[in-house]
Amino acid sequence: GPSLHSQLATEIRAAVAAEGDLTVAALEKMPLTKSVVWEALRIEPPVAFQYGKAKEDLIVRSSDNKFYIIKKDEMIFGYQPFATKDELVFADAEKFVPDRFVGSDGEKLVQNVYWSNGRETDSPTVNDKQCPGKDLVVLLSRLVVAQFFLRYDSFTCEAEKFLLGSKTTFTSLTKATSAK
């Protein structure tokens, strides 16, 4: 809504003004923008289903301290929203909380975001199935949000479920009242 839009516009425009342009350094001065992107990926992971074959015997621990044994060569299926909307980890897990990942406590929660077939805090390797472009996805998403709020103060939209994801239609855009 308008309150969040105003906060994002203020944060983004201040960081860009301080850096002189929209740079990676400017993006790093936008904790709310980063949090909004992570929250969007947490709420609706782009790839909800993952699967793989266990390469060795595994013991998996859930957030409520239950243990599950997975034997070598067994198929593992994961449904990301079970992890990303776990009420034991995320308060109001079904609700979009823009500043969920701001501050030291928020930064600790980032390890529980699994949109990329692995922890957000992990780096992909050739030995796992984590998305090798995950950092680029987050960076480009932050750039899109920043570019948007450099140009617009606010917007309204209609969101609906569409096929396997969602569809968003912008119904109004308010041009920026202050330039970068």
Minimal CA–CA distance to 175: which of 144, 159, 151? 151
Helix (H) or strand (E) holding 134: helix 134-151
Q: Which long-range contacts (CB under 8 A, 24 or more apart) does 18-24 make?
A: 22/143, 22/146, 22/147, 22/150, 22/180, 24/139
CA dist 180 and 22 (Å) reads 9
157 is in an annotated binding site: no
Q: What type of residue is 155?
A: F
As annotated, the binding site includes 131
| Bind-site residues for heme | 131
